[in-house]
């Protein structure tokens, strides 16, 4: 099944090569977790100060059963995000981690933290030490 995918380019021209790269990454996510119902990606080129390069911000909204997973790289100041392909790669790696956590929760393999046993002050629980 192919995930319905919407890709939006903001403040930059549309790139067929970048769009194909994103679609391939969505297909890889779908192979990893086959219950994805929708994927929305926004690629935005921000305009930084003239002494800095332009950075690319990526936002991924991924709809899965009973939840929406979101990765937003809007506040990232990494210099390597001047390359849109690296910004996309990092955003999809972050989404992969979120999807991994979500799928573990679905399988019930997330370790639950045990609560300490309650302390009772009843005299019948006290032992006499000789």
Exposure b/e, 6-31, CB count within 10 A at least 16 = b: ebebeeeeeeeebeeebbebbeebbe
Tokens of 26: 């969505």
3-state secondary structure of 90: helix
Mean pLDDT by 10 residues, the chain (130 residues): 87 94 94 90 79 81 92 66 90 93 79 59 54
* Overall CATH class of domain 5-107: alpha beta
Give the span between the Cα atoms of 1 and 31, in whole angstroms.
Answer: 10
Helix, strand, coil percentages in the chain from 3-state DSSP, rounded to 5: 35, 25, 40
Domain ranges of the chain: 5-107
pTM: 0.74
């Amino acid at each position: 099944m192919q995930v319905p995918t919407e890709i939006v380019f903001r403040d930059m021209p549309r790139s067929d090569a970048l769009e194909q790269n994103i679609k391939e990454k969505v297909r890889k996510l779908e192979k990893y977790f086959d219950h994805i119902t929708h994927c929305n990606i926004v690629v935005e080129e921000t305009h930084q100060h003239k002494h800095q390069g332009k950075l690319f911000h990526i936002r991924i909204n991924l709809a899965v059963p009973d939840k929406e997973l979101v990765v937003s790289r809007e506040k990232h100041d990494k210099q390597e995000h001047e390359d849109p392909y690296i910004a996309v790669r990092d955003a999809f790696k972050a989404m992969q981690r979120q999807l991994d956590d979500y799928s573990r929760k679905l399988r019930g393999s997330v370790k639950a933290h045990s609560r300490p046993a309650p302390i009772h002050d009843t005299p019948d629980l006290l032992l006499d030490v000789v």
